[in-house]
Chain A
Amino acid sequence: MSETVEGVSALIIQKLLSNPKVPRDINGDCKIMEDLAFDSLAVMNFVMEVEDSLDVSVPLDKLADIRTINDLAACIVDLKSKG
């Protein structure tokens, strides 16, 4: 089961869209805090949900480098390939 950045990114977008407050026209290049108006707590809570759907651990220190949805997807693919 090899996951691609595109695949994980699509999954994240699908998850985000289930929240009615998120703009409908998001894509992988959207900045999570700026474009989606997520505060730091909302980001951490969202990452927790992604951890559960993808069965992966995303340490908080990794979040510092993540700005876009694709960054998050790339980070998860990287973590999964190491696991």
Chain B
Amino acid sequence: MASLFSKYEGLAGSLGAVVAAGGRNPFAVVIEKPLSSTVGVIEGRETLLFGTNNYLGLSQSVRAIKAAQAAAEACGVGTTGSRIANGTQSLHRQLERKIADFFHRRDAMVFSTGYQANLGMISALAGKDDYLLLDADSHASIYDGSRLSAAQVIRFRHNDPDDLYKRIKRLDAPDAAKLVVVEGIYSMTGNVAPVAEFAAVKKETGAYLLVDEAHSFGVLGEHGRGSAEAEGVEADVDFIVGTFSKSLGTVGGYCVSDHPELELVRLNCRPYMFTASLPPEVIAATAAALEEMQEHPELRAQLMDNAARLHAGFVRLGLNASQRVSPVIAVTLETVEQAIPMWNRLLELGVYVNLSLPPATPDSRPLLRCSVMATHTAAQIDQALEIFRQAAEDCNVPLSAKETAA
């Protein structure tokens, strides 16, 4: 009889090879204790965290911790129900109002994760007669949303508004509703979307535009509203989706929009309806973190300075870092045989980054993906750079000390 697990044989082989090449499973790292936003204990060692997406360091916000404690005492630790049944407390509505106000939008929906926000909005918006147009490098949650939707799904070339335009024209379906989905900052590479150009294509073709600001919320734009604010095209973005799990340091997702039908989407959105809502302490911590983010725009400036410092350091070392400076900086290596030992060596020397292996990377080369925080000190960044240099040397990764223009 067939085994359910025969399809796992390939994966078992790949994982075995990864572990054999480096000595540990890179997908089973345990942070034994976070000591601060930037340092955690891993394998008993104090380790610099450069791969946690905690851009503003707010996972350790004292204000958010206190708000969570107070909410748990006042309201308990869970809602035991979905948003459309018993899972909406005043706190949930208050947070939705706060998020909507922050984005200057009519309304907001809060989901239990950012993953579910994409899954829910994309599947609820794009129906059987509609077209979904996705950037080729979209996050898994966007692809999964497209699979849950009944729409016809077309990919366009990454960050290429002309290619999007060509593919919309090729559909030759001027009357069909079309939803274009892009991300503000791409999670693997740190690439920033040319949102203004996408907005122009959307207007010319009469499509709708959804921007996932997961990594750009709190990071880009004068007020931290993301890539659409940074490019001055918020009015042309129909839906902004995002997450609390990165710049706000908690967990949860949201969608904001001016379309009044958002109220109806709540009743036609499976990942919103058929899962328990966020517990009171998470909602309260998120609201507190949002206030803290709004009151401290200097965190954003510090984040960008830190990103520039790390990026310049990589360029100086001769590592192949992303072209654009953003808080996600991916160092591309040529082969998996280089990447696995180097990632392990970095961890042994005291720096945690994310190891991304093909096919989860865009161009079939492996990435050492780093994310920068506002709370990193200059000394921590310089120490991480020295450890990268040492690890590259120890693993015979060639450093082509070329001064590429950033």
Interface centre among A39, A60, A83 (most CB of B within 10 A): A60
Query: Are B152 and A48 neighbours in the complex by a CB distance under 8 Å?
Result: no
Within the complex, the shortest CB–CB distance from A27 to chain B, in Å, comes to 24
Contact residues in A for B66 (Cβ distance below 8 Å): none
Question: Is A17 positioned at the interface, with any CB of B under 8 Å from its CB?
Answer: no
Query: Are A41 and B359 neighbours in the complex by a CB distance under 8 Å?
Result: yes
Partner of B136, one of A42, A44, A61, A83: A44
Within the complex, the shortest CB–CB distance from A82 to chain B, in Å, comes to 11
Query: Are B170 and A39 neighbours in the complex by a CB distance under 8 Å?
Result: no
Contact residues in A for B172 (Cβ distance below 8 Å): 83
Question: Is A4 positioned at the interface, with any CB of B under 8 Å from its CB?
Answer: no
CB contacts under 8 Å to A, within B144-162, are 146-147, 152-155, 157
Within the complex, the shortest CB–CB distance from B362 to chain A, in Å, comes to 8
**Known contacts being A45-B136, A48-B136, is A59 close to B359, with CB within 8 Å?**
no
CB contacts under 8 Å to A, within B319-351, are none
Contact residues in A for B146 (Cβ distance below 8 Å): 60
What separation, in Å, do the CA atoms of A13 and B359 have in the docked complex?
23
CB contacts under 8 Å to B, within A35-76, are 39-42, 44-45, 48, 51, 55-57, 59-61
Contact residues in B for A61 (Cβ distance below 8 Å): 147, 152-153
Question: Is B171 positioned at the interface, with any CB of A under 8 Å from its CB?
Answer: yes
What separation, in Å, do the CA atoms of A61 and B171 have in the docked complex?
15
A-side interface mostly: helix
Query: Are B136 and A59 neighbours in the complex by a CB distance under 8 Å?
Result: no
Contact residues in B for A41 (Cβ distance below 8 Å): 358-359
Within the complex, the shortest CB–CB distance from A41 to chain B, in Å, comes to 4
Question: Is B63 positioned at the interface, with any CB of A under 8 Å from its CB?
Answer: no
Contact residues in A for B153 (Cβ distance below 8 Å): 59-61
CB contacts under 8 Å to A, within B129-177, are 136, 146-147, 152-155, 157, 167, 170-172
Contact residues in B for A48 (Cβ distance below 8 Å): 136, 155, 157
What separation, in Å, do the CA atoms of A56 and B154 have in the docked complex?
11
What separation, in Å, do the CA atoms of A3 and B380 have in the docked complex?
62
Chain A positions near chain B (C-beta within 8 angstroms): 39-42, 44-45, 48, 51, 55-57, 59-61, 83
Additional pairs, 5, CB under 8 Å, beyond known A41-B358, A42-B359, A59-B152: A48-B157, A57-B154, A60-B146, A60-B155, A61-B152
Supply 23 A–B pairs (Cβ within 8 Å), ascending by A: A39-B358, A40-B359, A41-B358, A42-B364, A44-B136, A45-B136, A48-B136, A48-B155, A48-B157, A51-B167, A55-B170, A57-B152, A57-B154, A57-B167, A57-B170, A57-B171, A59-B152, A59-B153, A59-B154, A60-B153, A61-B152, A61-B153, A83-B172
